[in-house]
Structure 1
Amino acid sequence: MRLVFVGLGKMGRSILRGVLDKGFLAPEEVGVLGRSPERTRELAQAFGIQPVRPEDLARAERVLIAVQPRDFPALAPLIAHPLTGYLSIMAGVSTGVLTRRLGTRRVVRAMPNLAAEIGESSTALFGPKEAEEAGDLDFARALFATVGDVYEIPERLFDAFTGMSASAPAYLAVVAEALADGGVRMGIPRALALKLAADALAATGELLKRTHPGRLKDEVASPGGTTIHGLFALEARGVRAAFMEAVERATLRGQALGEEE
């Protein structure tokens, strides 16, 4: 078996769909280990992949750990095999912790975001030289490319990447909801306001791939116009500082999760 998913929540399912839909792996090459035998069978049937028991993991080429960080200490002894490669999408769990608990340096740390669901994730990757030499890092690059773009970054930036990129869909969802609420306040029907907010964020994302955000802002904000007055209100409420603090708080929480290990 080429890859076993340990845990299969929302993010794990998005990655699994990308892997299967893009033909990176065939269903018979993929297994799943759930929190119980019943859950394992249920997930395997739902996705047409193989049910796996903890003792079967010794025969797996690689294991993708997709559980909550708090569950990892108890899980690690059950899944640790020195000849297996491991990929982790657990926030805050360093390669040092993975190595210590799994008994191998063949570990790759990855951090995708919710956009994996639509093949538009930004995924950070890091692995030590042992993972590079064993081909685990190459495997991870190809695997996560099935759900979006892949960025290899130093591990010291992982918590910041998590606090910014991995958390960004939640931040921007709040922006969309607030924009819609503003439209409703001014008389736009709720359904239309939500659609307009979603369209605006999607289109702006595409524009930002082509130009600097400051330039885009200046192009929309004409002298004495409506937009500059709206921007003044945002600045008065400290919107920039709020977003910067959100990234900082999320980064610090990622660091704290790592310290709990």
Structure 2
Amino acid sequence: MKIHILGSGVMATAMAYGLKNAKFEVVIVGRNKDKLELLSNDFETCEYGSKFDITGKNLILAVKPYALKSVCSLLEGEANSCVSVLARTSLEDVKTNLKAKNIAICLPNIAAEFNSSITPFMSQGDTKIIEEILNGFGKCVKFETKNELDAASVVAGCAPAYLAVVAEALANAVVREGVKKDDASKLVSGLFDGFAKLLEASHPALIKEAVCSPAGTTIEGVAKLEECGVRNAFFEAVKASCNKQRS
């Protein structure tokens, strides 16, 4: 399947590489000649020009949200499908600005580059073709209401930044205790890789219980995390991002 990605930013590029890994044919469409030239080594690229015909094409809309109307004013025809990854943009916003038989809104994350994004979405039309595209850069989960999607999008799209803070803090903490910086990075990377597999097999509470022995080293650290309000900090972070997403 050929996918035209409208946009050439970080998220667009991550999806492009993921889709390429999944054997999709990718075309990146943009206005920045320098970016397009850099990407032309790995992808087919083209400029919008004064008009861009989308008839029968499968699109991923990956421009800045404020540019939705200006970009769509350049589009002519009716696309086969359009997947929008624009934050704070509804299905109605997309439908109002372009024509497509099948439309979806979603928020993947930059792990799409490694086919490891978890992508919540809502759609109208043929869900099968939408899922085929979204599964090209990871796994997808369908939601029925915008309220659910907003909350899910925070976990899928924003939480990698939260976890990056956690990873950096853990690495810095063990460096403080005497571990070399490179070794700390390897330890934390391996930790996250192994934890992902544990999480697929078990509930977080059961993982914690399995690691914590009575009066042991781990429960001492967990108690300190609770004392410092780490759990509540994540509640507040998700709430703040959800409020922004819904504004």
Instruction: Give TM-score scaled by structure 1 length.
Output: 0.85
Task: Quote the residue 1:90 is aligned against.
Answer: 86
Where 2:82 maps in the other structure, the secondary structure is strand
User: 2:48 corresponds to which residue?
Assistant: 53
Aligned CA distance change for structure 1 residues 91 and 80 (closer, same or farther; 3 Å):
farther
Aligned residue number for residue 144 of structure 1: 134
Pairwise mapping of residues 1-261 of structure 1 onto structure 2 (< 5 A)?
A: 2-25=2-25, 30-36=26-32, 38-39=33-34, 41-42=36-37, 45-54=40-49, 55-79=51-75, 81-82=77-78, 85-102=81-98, 106-128=102-124, 131-132=125-126, 137-156=127-146, 157-256=148-247
| Aligned equivalents of 2:23, 2:181: Cα separation in 1 | 40
C-alpha change, 1:244 and 1:105, in structure 2 (3 Å) is farther
Change (3 A) 1:44 1:220: closer
Superimposed CA distance per residue, residues 169-190 of structure 1 (whole angstroms, 9 cap, x where no aligned partner): 1111111111112111211122
2:42 maps to amino acid:
F
Measured in 1, the distance between the counterparts of 2:128 and 2:47 equals: 24
Residue pair 1:31, 1:44 contacting (<8 A) in 2 also: no
Tell me the percent identity. 29
Residue 149 of structure 1 aligns with an amino acid whose one-letter code is: K
Q: Give the SS at the match of 1:67.
A: coil
Cα separation, partners in 2 of 1:34 and 1:224, compared to 1, 3 Å: same
- Give the letter for the 1:113 counterpart: N
- Tell me the SS of whatever aligns to 1:222: coil
Q: Deviations over 1:81-109 (max 9, x none)?
A: 44553211111101011112225674211
Equivalent residue letter for 1:75: V
Where does the alignment leave 5 or more consecutive residues of structure 1 unmatched?
257-261
Whole-angstrom CA distance in 1 between matches of 2:209 and 2:36: 55
TM-score, length-scaled by structure 2: 0.89
With CA pairs under 8 Å and 6+ residues apart, which has the higher RCO, 1 or 2?
A: 1
Q: Distance in 2 between matches of 1:168 and 1:196?
A: 21
The Cα of 1:50 is off from its aligned counterpart by 4.3
Secondary structure of the structure 2 residue equivalent to 1:146: helix
The CA RMSD over aligned residues, in Å, is: 2.2
The total of aligned residue pairs comes to 245
Contact 1:34 1:43 in 2 (8 A): no
Worse-matched range after superposition: 204-213 or 190-199: 190-199
